[in-house]
Amino acid sequence: MKDTHDDRSFEQDVYDVVRAIPEGRVTSYGAIAKVLGAARASRRVGWVLNKSFGAQPPVPAYRVVNRLGMLTGAIHFPADQPMAAQLKAEGVVIENDTVVDFGARFWDPMTEL
DNA sequence: CATCTGACCTAGT
DNA sequence: AACTAGGCCAGAT
- Domains contained in chain A, CATH given: 5-112 (1.10.10.10)
In the structure, how far is the CA atom of residue A103 from the C1' atom of nucleotide C5, in angstroms? 29
Tell me the C-alpha distance between A48 and A98, whole Å. 22
pLDDT of residue A7: 65
Q: What is the pLDDT of residues A70-98, one digit of tens each?
A: 999 999 999 999 999 999 999 999 999 99
DSSP assignments along A12-75, one per residue? HHHHHHHHTPPTT-BEEHHHHHHHTT-TT-HHHHHHHHHHGGG-SS---GGGEE-TTSB-GGGG
Q: What is the pLDDT of residues A23-63, one digit of tens each?
A: 999 999 999 999 999 999 999 999 999 999 989 999 999 99
* Closest listed residue to residue A71, CA positions, set A103, A95, A47: A95
pLDDT category at A3 given cuts 50, 70, 90 is very low
In the structure, how far is the CA atom of residue A42 from the C1' atom of nucleotide B10, in angstroms? 10
Residue numbers in A 58-87, CB below 7 Å of strand B: 61, 64, 66-68, 72-77, 83
Give the nucleotide nearest to A41 (CA→C1'). Answer: C8
pLDDT at A8 > cutoff 80: no
pLDDT at A1 > cutoff 80: no
Give the nucleotide nearest to A30 (CA→C1'). Answer: B9
Tell me the C-alpha distance between A40 and A34, whole Å. 8
In the structure, how far is the CA atom of residue A49 from the C1' atom of nucleotide C1, in angstroms? 34
pLDDT at A67 > cutoff 70: yes
